[in-house]
A and B are shown apart, each in its own frame.
Chain A
Amino acid sequence: MTAAIRENATDRSNTGATQLPRVLSPTGAPMDLLAHLKVHGDTPYRGGPRMLIHTIESAGLTGRGGAAFPTHRKLTAVADQKGIPVVVGNGAEGEPASDKDKLLLWSSPHLVLDGLQLAAEAVGARRVHLYVHRHPELLQRLRSALAERATAGLDRIAVGLVAAPPRFLAGEETALASRVEGGSALPRFAPPRIFERGVDGAPTLVQNVETLAQIALISRYGPAWFRAIGTEQEPGSMLTTLRPADGGGGVAETAIGTPITELLRLAEHPARAVLVGGYHGAWLTPEQAGHLTLSNADLRPFGAAVGAGVLVALPTDRCGIVESARVVRYLALESAGQCGPCLNGLPRIAATFSALANRQFARSALEDLQRWSTLVERRGACHHPDGTVRFLRSALNVFSDEVTLHAAGRCSAGTTAPFLPIPTATPSYEEDWS
């Protein structure tokens, strides 16, 4: 586990309220229950539903799963429903370029588990699940953590651990609900939305594991502490998965609003382009990345978003089109195949884009890609086609010079060795949606 994920040890002293790390372990070593209790104390239950929600609102916490939705509004929406809610912590992390949820669960499971209990109390839930990427060591670690808490009598509601299949869409909220119910992790058509009717028809609160960890901290140290770092509109810290152009990096906890060039050390390791947000995110040019910070306020005008905190710097010797085409092919294979437009459109887009990457340029290729992109957008049950199209369009935009080169049968890459992480194993479909 630890070989694949390296922590970026910027500051481990945690001597002041504003210091990092916050959700990650202050010593760098994973925290067992004893260590957790020593640093953070007991789970600060409020004693009744809804009490925590106001605190979360003052803190201004937004979801750390990618959508950045105001957490207090989600809590309120679920608490307002008739029927007894279910809470699910989302640690599926289907994004191949992201490792932060797995690391968080490994490093600070008790913060996440505290957050689960506190969120459950806040919405009046009686069932709690933790949905985790199907990684045997990680699952084992979580089982141990849950056992420790059971012995100490910390959890008021027993937590059901559910394994998520290693699919890109496994963390999509309706796919999550379907899997937690015992079915396959395939997206479902909403309405009704998950907060109204989710797992077994109950109002369901789905919260990313990092958001839960932040809830656990805010409930102890308060909104003012939370707001001590970050920006006014987007306060707090966030976990990022960094991949600078030298191939190093790893998961780091950083204040929102940190300059991207600092995070990716662009001055030392110049990049051809920067990918922000993951495979449903967008590319930035080095100039843009050079002066933007990791915040939605800065990124949105450039068609990008913070997302789940993935930042990748493409080395100058790689071809952006070749790398992007590999991603688009992966995304097409990860379609659930349930909706006509996605099932038909994504493979065609992927094949045409791959041909372009291989310098086999059909005259109508760009036109076809445009047309198919418009045809698949917002016509699926989930946002997979939308995210894929966003990524594709930003690639064609940022790498437009490369497109011209490829059309002429050339490529400016120094090497075609893959840089962006794409899972190579072809899933066996029979078992791998469950």
Chain B
Amino acid sequence: MDERLRVNPILCSGHGLCAELFPEQITLDEWGYPILSDEPVPRGLSKLARRAVTDCPALALALVRHG
């Protein structure tokens, strides 16, 4: 049972906080929109991932369970 990041691209307006808070799995493309890693969130970084989700001003980011 692992967690992965998922972005709602319609809600996302490119604030870019997520990439600052969780650079391990989120980078920004040349237009300021997030590129998410396909990998599951490593156990130790779960808290960081959660913070990125909570702090997104557009509530566009989510953590989903897989498996």
Contact = CB atoms under 8 A, between A and B. Distances in A.
Q: Are A and B co-members of a single complex?
A: yes
Interface of A: 188-189, 338-342, 344-345, 375, 379-381
A375 B30 contact: yes
Contacts of B8: 189, 381
Contact of B29 (A338, A375, A381): A375
B30 A340 contact: no
A340 B13 contact: yes
A344 B28 CA distance: 13
Interface in B1-35: 8-14, 29-33, 35
Contacts of B33: 340-341, 344, 379
Majority secondary structure of chain B interface residues (helix, strand, loop or mixed): loop
Interface of B: 8-14, 29-33, 35
Contacts of A340: 9, 12-14, 31-33
A349 to B, nearest CB: 13
Nearest to B11: A189
A381 B10 contact: yes
Contacts of B9: 189, 338-342, 379-381
Q: Taking each of A189, A340, A381, which has the highest tally of chain B beta carbons within 10 Å of its own beta carbon?
A: A340
Nearest to B29: A375
Nearest to A376: B29
Contacts of B10: 188-189, 338-339, 381
Given A188-B10, A189-B8, A339-B10, 20 more contacts: A189-B10, A189-B11, A338-B9, A339-B9, A340-B9, A340-B13, A340-B14, A340-B31, A340-B32, A340-B33, A341-B9, A341-B31, A341-B33, A344-B31, A345-B31, A375-B29, A379-B9, A379-B33, A380-B9, A381-B9
Contacts of B12: 339-340
Nearest to A345: B31
Contacts of A380: 9
Nearest to A375: B29
B45 to A, nearest CB: 22
Contacts of A339: 9-10, 12
Contacts of A379: 9, 33, 35
B25 to A, nearest CB: 15
A341 B11 contact: no
B58 to A, nearest CB: 11
| Residue from A342, A375, A379 with most neighbouring chain B CB atoms (10 Å) | A379
A345 B35 CA distance: 14
6 contacts: A189-B8, A189-B9, A341-B9, A341-B33, A375-B30, A381-B10
A16 B35 CA distance: 56
A143 to B, nearest CB: 34
A379 B35 CA distance: 8
Nearest to A371: B30
Contacts of A345: 31
Nearest to A341: B33
Contacts of A381: 8-10
A344 B29 CA distance: 11
